[in-house]
Chains A and B, each alone.
Chain A
């Protein structure tokens, strides 16, 4: 297996050192974390700040379709929307990326060529992750070879919950290696690796914090909350805990990692709450599509609707925004 030099990699030299490290992280008090997230949810973002937030949120969207019924036609339509979210208004920025299954990566790459919108692919037996490492690595390789510049992998939650942290670590490291040449630093070539923790299955905030550190140590460029296939998906407190983790990881190792809540973010109001959370937890340095993404599909139209409302003072009906 290829070895990577990532900060703190030495703690993964054995099961016991990795376990000792992860269990040595400060705990998370659920009541306090929930209260902090709820308090930040009361911030009132109006007028100029709201305009700014809506455009930023649009630029952060990973427009996603992950259905068994996905077809090249569906993906091409979504890509068109990603590049030009509102055909009536050229000032609306494109989204950050589209996110599809590996077999549809070539379609998306072709549709998005030259647009600046990135192609992200889920991989590693998404969403359950229940397959062998060989299959996961091979699937990652296929997606990268097809032109995906971002890989959204899932961790082995079973191994994590069973306490086999080293297995989770080794899988992430192997997938990271399969992402491309350099691996590691954020602006070097190779696909960016987003590691999906599936926090709805990890259940406790202590687990979320440990899984976040585990993923970052193993080389994640982004840590992502959820597949969107498990409820609860992204929540504010879980994202708070992950933002604290990337903030602390940067301070400890000097390496900056991004965060992506995904699933269940449907309204502009929700999206703005996440931006406030970023601003007041990890800090304004993370308020950039390079470091924060929103995994969503229906959110985009609500952002467009609110954006138009701010410009015209009136709400247009849903038929004035394209389906995909």
Chain B
């Protein structure tokens, strides 16, 4: 046997303060709220730091700072705004190892992913939108599109720094100012980003970071001084936000849940399809809104594909997120783990067959083994509800038409994957799938130039690409 020795990335590179205030108007300020909570490393349950859950008064202060800064920031020429954003992108690249370690500590994702996926995409997103800042007149939104004002942005815990980049980069490029609330379980990289804004000499008040949970987010999106609300998270919370901004002048984009179909046709390149299935649902422990959580495999090859999948899953390495050879890290929180367990038990009791590879589970922290359910019917809860964990539901189909019908038979429509070596079938399927992104012979690939967003209950508006500018311009 060839056992890989532990290869942990050093955590000495990060400097986590015992507690953090709020980042408002370019300064660290003491909050009015006295509510403080701990943020923990989900792989060990070790307390990393203490953060504030900002109250209405704190949010008000942040929005005021952003309003004040908007007057000057929006008047800065695009070419000058670009310089700040390019500078931020470069600092992120320079500090990428530190940020990757910090992300893995706070979130539980493997360092291989934070290092090779999250951080390169974060930097790429800032670089991409920096390039747009002085070219907005040519983006197709009129000769001189204007920014909206203050953007209130609420982001999730699955890709903390990447979701921050998706929100902040286009907002700044278009001349808006920002109040951003990171998720309560993963605030640390957003707080590190606040330092980066200072390092880049970004004018005070252009970016403000307020930490907290649902109450803080609610105060932010309801605040009358906010002109634009951008939210990524659950459909449930997205509905509340849509309700609270309805009838106001606020422009809204929502990027919500998903239950993506990953369709494997009988002529697919099997080995790569298996990789795509693994990458679709076990990437980031399945904490991915566009995860390929429903595998739709053509019945004629189902056995072969499942055998290959199970063999492959047996090689996945679960454990210390900071180990460079770890494939599957920790579940982000006890609450999320409980939700995954509850839905998995529902899957079993509804009659689907549950399988996991032999997989030692660490004693401390929040862990869930990679899990595959076979014999899943369209009516099972695990085929309909978003699990947001490393749980794959396998369904079969007989004909291409049935595959599309089943894939679209969900309240969600964020993403889909199609695996076939036949170009005509690929195009036929892609044009019929009601999903914001359709991946062709790949899955969970992202690029800042490519717009991302949902159909139906997966939300509205697009982030990324030229399309992503629209959400931050008065058009």
Please determine whether chains A and B interact with each other in the same assembly.
yes
Q: Interface of A with B (CB < 8 Å)?
A: 26-29, 31-33, 35-36, 42-50, 52-53, 56, 244, 275-276, 279-280, 284, 287
Q: Among the interface residues B5, B272, B276, B442, which one has the most CB atoms of the partner chain A within 10 A?
A: B272
Contact A33 B5, beta carbon cutoff 8 Å: no
Given A42-B116, A44-B324, A53-B2, the answer on whether A32 and B7 have CB atoms closer than 8 Å is no
Which 8 A-B pairs rank lowest in CB-CB distance, beginning with the nearest? Answer: A32-B272, A44-B7, A44-B324, A29-B272, A29-B269, A49-B5, A26-B270, A27-B421
User: Is B335 on the interface with A (CB-CB < 8 A)?
Assistant: no
A257 to B276, CA, bound (A): 27
Contact A27 B269, beta carbon cutoff 8 Å: yes
Given A35-B275, A43-B325, the answer on whether A279 and B2 have CB atoms closer than 8 Å is yes
Between A and B, 13 residue pairs with Cβ closer than 8 Å are A26-B269, A26-B270, A31-B442, A35-B275, A36-B275, A42-B116, A43-B325, A44-B324, A46-B6, A47-B5, A49-B4, A244-B271, A287-B2
Contact B275 A32, beta carbon cutoff 8 Å: yes
A163 to B276, CA, bound (A): 31
A284 to B272, CA, bound (A): 21
User: Is B179 on the interface with A (CB-CB < 8 A)?
Assistant: no
Given A42-B112, A42-B116, A44-B325, the answer on whether A33 and B271 have CB atoms closer than 8 Å is yes
Contact A28 B271, beta carbon cutoff 8 Å: yes
Q: Which chain A residues lie closer than 8 Å to B442 at the CB level?
A: 31-32
Q: Among the interface residues A32, A46, A279, which one has the most CB atoms of the partner chain B within 10 A?
A: A32
In the complex, which residue of chain B has the Cβ closest to the Cβ of A50?
Answer: B5
Contact B112 A33, beta carbon cutoff 8 Å: no
In the complex, which residue of chain A has the Cβ closest to the Cβ of B315?
Answer: A280
User: Is B3 on the interface with A (CB-CB < 8 A)?
Assistant: yes
Output the least CB separation between B41 and chain A (Å).
Answer: 21
Contact B4 A43, beta carbon cutoff 8 Å: yes
Q: B252-289 vs A: 1/0 string, CB under 8 Å?
A: 00000000000000011111100110000000000000
Q: Which chain B residues lie closer than 8 Å to A244 at the CB level?
A: 271
User: Is B235 on the interface with A (CB-CB < 8 A)?
Assistant: no
Q: Which chain B residues lie closer than 8 Å to A287 at the CB level?
A: 2
Contact B269 A32, beta carbon cutoff 8 Å: yes
User: Is B441 on the interface with A (CB-CB < 8 A)?
Assistant: yes
Contact B272 A49, beta carbon cutoff 8 Å: no
Q: How many A-B residue pairs have CB under 8 A?
A: 68
A27 to B269, CA, bound (A): 5
> Which parts of B1-44 form the interface with A (CB within 8 Å)?
1-7
Q: Which chain A residues lie closer than 8 Å to B2 at the CB level?
A: 49, 52-53, 56, 275-276, 279, 284, 287
Output the least CB separation between B325 and chain A (Å).
Answer: 5
Q: Which chain A residues lie closer than 8 Å to B7 at the CB level?
A: 44-46
Q: Which of A27, A28, A43, A49 contacts B3 (CB 8 A)?
A: A49
Output the least CB separation between B370 and chain A (Å).
Answer: 15
Given A52-B2, A284-B1, the answer on whether A28 and B325 have CB atoms closer than 8 Å is no
Q: Which chain A residues lie closer than 8 Å to B1 at the CB level?
A: 284
In the complex, which residue of chain A has the Cβ closest to the Cβ of B308?
Answer: A248
Q: Which chain A residues lie closer than 8 Å to B271 at the CB level?
A: 26, 28, 32-33, 36, 244
Contact B4 A26, beta carbon cutoff 8 Å: no
Contact B267 A27, beta carbon cutoff 8 Å: yes
Q: Which chain A residues lie closer than 8 Å to B315 at the CB level?
A: 280
Contact B4 A33, beta carbon cutoff 8 Å: no
Q: Which of A28, A48, A276 contacts B5 (CB 8 A)?
A: A48
Output the least CB separation between B298 and chain A (Å).
Answer: 13
Q: Which chain A residues lie closer than 8 Å to B324 at the CB level?
A: 42-44
A39 to B210, CA, bound (A): 37
Output the least CB separation between B193 and chain A (Å).
Answer: 26
Q: Which chain B residues lie closer than 8 Å to A27 at the CB level?
A: 267-269, 421
Output the least CB separation between B260 and chain A (Å).
Answer: 18
Output the least CB separation between A181 and chain B (Å).
Answer: 35
In the complex, which residue of chain A has the Cβ closest to the Cβ of B272?
Answer: A32
Given A36-B275, A42-B324, A43-B325, the answer on whether A29 and B5 have CB atoms closer than 8 Å is no
Output the least CB separation between A163 and chain B (Å).
Answer: 19
A52 to B1, CA, bound (A): 10
A31-B272, A275-B2 given; name 4 further pairs at CB < 8 Å.
A42-B112, A42-B116, A284-B1, A284-B2
A31 to B272, CA, bound (A): 9
A46 to B442, CA, bound (A): 31
Q: Which chain A residues lie closer than 8 Å to B269 at the CB level?
A: 26-29, 32
Contact B272 A46, beta carbon cutoff 8 Å: no
Q: Among the interface residues B2, B267, B441, which one has the most CB atoms of the partner chain A within 10 A?
A: B2
Given A42-B324, A44-B324, A49-B2, the answer on whether A32 and B270 have CB atoms closer than 8 Å is no
In the complex, which residue of chain B has the Cβ closest to the Cβ of A245?
Answer: B271
Output the least CB separation between B326 and chain A (Å).
Answer: 10
Contact B112 A45, beta carbon cutoff 8 Å: no
Output the least CB separation between B110 and chain A (Å).
Answer: 11
Output the least CB separation between A93 and chain B (Å).
Answer: 16
Q: Which chain B residues lie closer than 8 Å to A36 at the CB level?
A: 271-272, 275
In the complex, which residue of chain A has the Cβ closest to the Cβ of B116?
Answer: A42
Output the least CB separation between B313 and chain A (Å).
Answer: 12
A52 to B6, CA, bound (A): 14
Q: Which chain B residues lie closer than 8 Å to A31 at the CB level?
A: 272, 441-442
A66 to B393, CA, bound (A): 54
Output the least CB separation between A250 and chain B (Å).
Answer: 12
Q: Which chain A residues lie closer than 8 Å to B441 at the CB level?
A: 29, 31-32
In the complex, which residue of chain A has the Cβ closest to the Cβ of B421?
Answer: A27
Output the least CB separation between A169 and chain B (Å).
Answer: 24
A33 to B272, CA, bound (A): 6
Q: Which chain B residues lie closer than 8 Å to A284 at the CB level?
A: 1-2
A33 to B276, CA, bound (A): 11
Contact A45 B272, beta carbon cutoff 8 Å: no
A275 to B1, CA, bound (A): 11
Q: Which chain A residues lie closer than 8 Å to B325 at the CB level?
A: 43-44
A34 to B5, CA, bound (A): 25
A35 to B3, CA, bound (A): 23
Output the least CB separation between A59 and chain B (Å).
Answer: 13
A194 to B6, CA, bound (A): 36
Contact A46 B116, beta carbon cutoff 8 Å: no
